[in-house]
């Protein structure tokens, strides 16, 4: 995890550059929150210290690499890293640590936005606009996995049609699903539609979830997928666990 080293490195660069950079104040506040979090982690010790500080000690070696990269893109990336650290801390650390890390993340995320005015790094890149949602009301639309947005309506219908075309051979359906999905990304609602095509073959339904999980953009919406497995309780739990272990952008 390169989180804290990245934060400190960015802050050092900004402070040296002077007040011309619009996000300097947010970075300073983020750094203060991170330092407070480190102190709290050290005070708690035990499992908390092992889970969080273990990864943070190594990132200090990378400070020099981050001092010259102060783009909004870099700040947003560090904000995402802080979100990951906060998730790790939730299991082993107190609420104060998590809150401080979330505060730091929010500050960096704000600093990474273009508020107008101030100069920005020449290498700054804007995030591409999200494509139209494949289906209105899908909460996964607009999210990404590995920087990839979920399939649009045409791509998803093509995938669904290919899977249906292999019926009733569930193993052929599964192979086609994996091949057609490829490096595309999908939402939990899209995944639920595909899983339903494999009923009543519950084990192949679960295989679909396993294959798709690394490409799902909104694993937090796993509750859309699990009901498709009813009344198979154990497979519902397995599906929830598989998706719950994923982390989207």
pLDDT in tens, 51-91: 767 765 543 443 334 444 445 666 666 677 777 777 777 87
Q: Answer yes or no: pTM beyond 0.85.
A: no
Let me know whether 7 and 107 are in one domain: yes
Residues 107 and 7 reside in one and the same domain: yes
CB neighbourhood size of 219 (10 A): 22
Same domain, 104 and 166: no
Q: In this structure, how many other beta carbons lie within 10 angstroms of the beta carbon of residue 183?
A: 8
pLDDT number for residue 72 = 63
Q: Are residues 21 and 96 in the same domain?
A: yes
Which residue from 2, 133, 145, 137 is spatially nearest to 69, judged by alpha carbons?
2
- Please give the average per-residue pLDDT across 172-183, as a whole number: 95
pLDDT per residue as tens digits for the range 47-59? 888 876 776 554 3
* Full domain range(s) for residue 230: 153-244
Q: How far is CA 40 from the centre of its chain?
A: 25
φ, ψ dihedrals at 144, nearest 5°: -135, 160
Residue 20 pLDDT > 50: no
Q: Is the pLDDT of residue 138 over 50?
A: yes
Give the per-residue pLDDT at 131.
77
Beta-carbon contacts of residue 202 (< 8 Å; ≥ 6 apart): 229, 232, 235
Which element (helix H / strand E) includes 210? helix 202-212
Is 124 domain-assigned?
Answer: no
Q: Is residue 127 part of a domain?
A: no
Contact residues for 215 (Cβ-Cβ < 8 A; gap 6+): 145, 148, 181, 183, 184, 185, 186
The CA distances from residue 124 to 8, 12, 66, 150, in Å, are: 19, 18, 14, 24
The answer to whether 80 touches 72, Cβ cutoff 8 Å, is: no
Mean pLDDT, range 119-147, rounded to an integer: 72
Q: Are 160 and 87 members of one domain?
A: no
Tell me what the mean pLDDT of segment 17-29 comes to.
51
Classify residue 53: in a domain, yes or no: yes
Residue 90 lies in a domain: yes
Do 17 and 105 reside in the same domain of the chain? Answer: yes
Domain count across the chain: 2
Indicate if 13 and 105 belong to the same structural domain. Answer: yes
Residue bearing the bigger pLDDT, 24 or 200: 200
Predicted confidence (pLDDT) at residue 122 exceeds the cutoff of 50: no
Domain assignment present for residue 141? The answer is: no
Tell whether 126 is covered by a domain: no
In contact, 101 and 71? CB cutoff 8 Å: no
| Rg of the Cα atoms in the chain | 21
- Is there a domain that residue 182 lies in? yes
**39 pLDDT band (50/70/90 cuts)?**
confident
**Confidence category of residue 151, pLDDT binned at 50, 70, 90:** very high
Please determine, for residue 199, whether its predicted confidence score (pLDDT) is greater than 50: yes
If asked whether residues 27 and 97 sit together in one domain, one would say yes
């Amino acid at each position: 995890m390169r989180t804290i080293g990245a934060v400190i490195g960015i802050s050092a660069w900004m402070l040296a550059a002077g007040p011309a950079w619009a996000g300097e104040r947010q970075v300073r506040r983020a750094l203060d929150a991170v330092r407070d979090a480190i102190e709290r982690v050290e005070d708690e010790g035990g499992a908390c210290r092992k889970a969080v500080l273990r990864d943070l000690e190594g990132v200090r070696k990378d400070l020099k690499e981050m001092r010259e990269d102060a783009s909004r893109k870099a700040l947003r990336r560090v904000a995402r890293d802080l979100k990951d650290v906060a998730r790790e801390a939730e299991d082993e650390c107190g609420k104060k640590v998590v809150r401080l890390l979330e505060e730091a993340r929010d500050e960096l995320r704000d600093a990474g936005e273009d508020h107008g005015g101030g100069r920005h790094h020449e290498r700054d890149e804007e995030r591409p606009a999200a494509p139209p949602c494949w289906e209105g009301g899908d909460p996964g639309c607009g999210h990404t996995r590995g920087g990839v947005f979920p399939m649009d309506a045409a791509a998803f219908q093509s995938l669904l049609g290919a899977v249906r075309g292999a019926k009733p051979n569930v193993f052929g359906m599964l192979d086609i699903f994996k091949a057609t999905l490829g490096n595309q990304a999908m939402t939990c609602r899209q995944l639920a539609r595909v899983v339903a095509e494999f009923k009543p073959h519950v084990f192949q339904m679960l295989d679909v979830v396993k294959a798709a999980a690394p490409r799902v953009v909104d694993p937090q919406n796993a509750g859309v997928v699990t009901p498709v497995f009813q009344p198979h309780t154990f497979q519902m739990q397995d599906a929830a666990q598989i998706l719950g272990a994923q982390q989207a952008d």
